[in-house]
A and B are shown apart, each in its own frame.
Chain A
Amino acid sequence: MSLAFALSLGLITALAFMGLPMGASMITGSILYLLMRGQDMGIAAEQLLNGMYTNYIMLAVPLFILAAEIMNSGSLSERLLNWCNAVVGRFRGGLAQVNILQSIVFAGMSGSAIADAAGSGKMMQFMMTKDGKYPPSYAAALTAATAVIGPIVPPSIPMVLYALVADTSIGYLFLGGVVPGLLMAGVMMVQVAVTARIRNFPVEDAVPLRQLPRKTWDALPVLLMPAVLMFGIYGGVTTPTEAAAVAAFYALIVSVVIYRAVRLPDLYSSVLASAKTTASIGMLIAGALVFNYVVTIENIPRTISATLLAWDLDPVMFLIAVNILLLLLGCILEGTTILLVIVPVLIPTAQALGIDMVHFGVVVVVNIMLGLITPPYGLLLFIMTRIANTPMRALVADVAPFLIGLMLALLVFTFVPDTVLWLPKLFGYVPASASP
């Protein structure tokens, strides 16, 4: 590691700590590096522009963001919640189970946990706390925890970003998330069932089973969406990037034509909000492209990989270390930053140890998602305290059991790669051999 690199890294860290946006910090630090090495400073612009221009798969990110925004502005969530209530509302803690079920279906349409919490999550929070049915902090904790599933069940924005840095197939990554996502939902369902008995949560009025076909018909366009997406990608019809556009288009048709729930001004706000989010996440990607150039010429990933391999690290130890590292970083850093800056440094080591890249990707993404509900810095926690108007302390206390449950699930995905790889293998994926 050269002095120039050390100073550049130091400057980025200092600027970031002082509140400068991450993207701008990385560009500034990289310019310092180029200056000290006497290189052409135009390289910063070149790396950024060419990187953005040639990485076509990144376009899936804005399109998935747009799809989620449109879904949230229509009455899709409402109809979906009615259907979920008809199915699982009759059990003890019914609404809490509804919350989990809706999050699975939503996860199958949207690739963003934050969007899920701000959209259907907000409605769930309202339903659960109306008439004092559930303590606000418990409802908020559950909503935050179920939103975590959003980017694990495909589609998934973080997986697109991972595919970018790890050069892995998005299609197989998406498939790899299906079983883990369902398992995580299962863990939470069991937890809710137990808690519901202990804390005596209410049962919803059972919706007569004869009404179920009608409610299903009502929600059918929404329920079909995950299937449409999956068929698009795995039927070989569309690329994952095009599938993102199809998702947005489908959401648009359903909300505007079928449900007639979105007016033009709503649509404009959705597009603008998506565009702003895109610019913000895009700037981080842009900064990472420039800084990753610096990291690459300094040969950092290889150096780290050589050091770690010299320690005779076995894959299991490495994965445990990665889990701990990412969970700790997740407490203080925003997830996209971890994915685009930290993860690329770990990938060569993982590859050298023979860990499968799809397996590694799903483990990494689950880690980063858990970072969204770990204090002190968890974006989902911030959003839910705001939506639920409940103190952070109460929310953290109620989220802790779910966090522990989900971490146990993460351990299972880490040590039993087939939980992740079983489905991709069915679709013809050939994993790297040495995954533990």
Chain B
Amino acid sequence: MSLLLRIGVWLHARAENLLAAMLATMFAVFIVQIVFRYLLNLPIGWTHEISVIMWVWLVLFGTAFVVRDHEEIRFDLLYSTVSERTRRIMVVICAVTVVFFFAISLPAVLDYIGFMKVEKTAYLKIRFDWLYSIYGLFAIAMIVRQLWLGYQAIWGKPGDAIDVTRIKSGI
């Protein structure tokens, strides 16, 4: 295994650790909240804030760095039936489109996130530009990821067969 690939695998595993930690934190503060409110009769607000922050970060961080495209919820009825060549063309078109629109909107998005520095959360006084910075990371990661997918589709080896049972759906 090349060094670069090994670093990639290692980073992915750490990103997974972080993602699992976010959900565990969300769960733990919920339990703390329930204990405080119903057993100790002391309603607290900061737990609410942490759990919501974890939710926002979990989704954007997870989509950016952990969940692979074939595990996302998508419409693959057509995608899974066409030939390898057509599929590659489809991936390239999607990649170009996503990169274009995410890149063109990036300055406005960063502007918005920067603007949010004027607000702070109610209990923990966390600045919203920090809290929302994950969207900036997410947008950049989307661009990089789609560039990579497009590159793979043009020059890479054939991908794995589509496995519809790996789609993560909560229902």
Q: A residues bordering B, Cβ < 8 Å?
A: 11, 15-25, 28, 31-32, 34-35, 40-46, 48-49, 52-53, 56, 58-59, 61-66, 112-114, 151, 157-158, 161, 237-238, 241-242, 245-246, 248-249, 268, 271-272, 274-286, 332-337, 339, 368-369, 372, 376-377, 379, 382-383, 386
How far does the alpha carbon of A376 sit from the alpha carbon of B80 in the complex, in Å?
Answer: 12
Known: A28-B101, A28-B102, A59-B52. A19 touches B79 (CB 8 A): yes
Closest beta carbon of chain A to B97's beta carbon, Å: 6
Residue of A whose beta carbon sits closest to that of B86: A18
7 residue pairs of the A-B complex, CB under 8 angstroms, read A16-B74, A28-B102, A35-B101, A35-B104, A35-B105, A56-B48, A334-B167
Q: In the complex, which of the residues B22, B101, B167, B170 contacts A32, with contact meaning CB atoms closer than 8 Å?
A: B101
Instruction: Tell me if B33 and A52 are in contact (CB < 8 A).
Output: no
Which residue among A11, A41, A249, A377 has the maximum number of chain B CB atoms within 10 Å of its CB? A41
Instruction: Tell me if B97 and A28 are in contact (CB < 8 A).
Output: yes
Closest beta carbon of chain B to A390's beta carbon, Å: 14
Instruction: Tell me if A24 and B142 are in contact (CB < 8 A).
Output: yes
How far does the alpha carbon of A294 sit from the alpha carbon of B27 in the complex, in Å?
Answer: 33
What mask results when residues 101 to 143 of chain B are scored 1 for a CB within 8 Å of chain A, else 0? 1101100110111000000000000000001100100010010
Instruction: Tell me if B62 and A382 are in contact (CB < 8 A).
Output: no
Q: Which residues of A contact B58 (CB under 8 A)?
A: 62, 275, 278-279, 282
Instruction: Tell me if A278 and B98 are in contact (CB < 8 A).
Output: no
Instruction: Tell me if A277 and B168 are in contact (CB < 8 A).
Output: yes
Q: In the complex, which of the residues A22, A277, A286 contacts B74, with contact meaning CB atoms closer than 8 Å?
A: A22
Q: Please provide the 6 A-B residue pairs with the shortest distance between their CB atoms, ordered closest to farther.
A: A279-B62, A282-B59, A42-B112, A19-B79, A21-B72, A245-B30
Instruction: Tell me if B94 and A18 are in contact (CB < 8 A).
Output: yes
Say whether chain B's binding surface is mostly helix, strand, loop, or mixed: helix
Which residue among A21, A64, A334, A386 has the maximum number of chain B CB atoms within 10 Å of its CB? A21
Known: A18-B93, A238-B38, A386-B165. A281 touches B73 (CB 8 A): yes
B84 at the binding interface (Cβ < 8 Å): no
Q: Which residues of B contact A382 (CB under 8 A)?
A: 164-165
Residue of B whose beta carbon sits closest to that of A381: B164
Instruction: Tell me if B34 and A278 are in contact (CB < 8 A).
Output: no
B9 at the binding interface (Cβ < 8 Å): no
How far does the alpha carbon of A391 sit from the alpha carbon of B100 in the complex, in Å?
Answer: 42
Instruction: Tell me if B59 and A372 are in contact (CB < 8 A).
Output: no
Residue of A whose beta carbon sits closest to that of B99: A28
Known: A35-B104, A56-B48. A23 touches B109 (CB 8 A): no
Q: Which residues of B contact A276 (CB under 8 A)?
A: 19, 62, 66-67, 71, 168
Instruction: Tell me if B62 and A158 are in contact (CB < 8 A).
Output: no
Instruction: Tell me if B74 and A246 are in contact (CB < 8 A).
Output: no
Instruction: Tell me if A52 and B23 are in contact (CB < 8 A).
Output: no
Q: Which residues of A contact B62 (CB under 8 A)?
A: 275-276, 278-280, 282-283
Instruction: Tell me if A278 and B132 are in contact (CB < 8 A).
Output: no
Contacting A at CB under 8 A, from B29-78, are 30-31, 33-34, 38, 48, 51-53, 55-56, 58-63, 66-67, 69, 71-78
How far does the alpha carbon of A241 sit from the alpha carbon of B34 in the complex, in Å?
Answer: 11
B169 at the binding interface (Cβ < 8 Å): yes
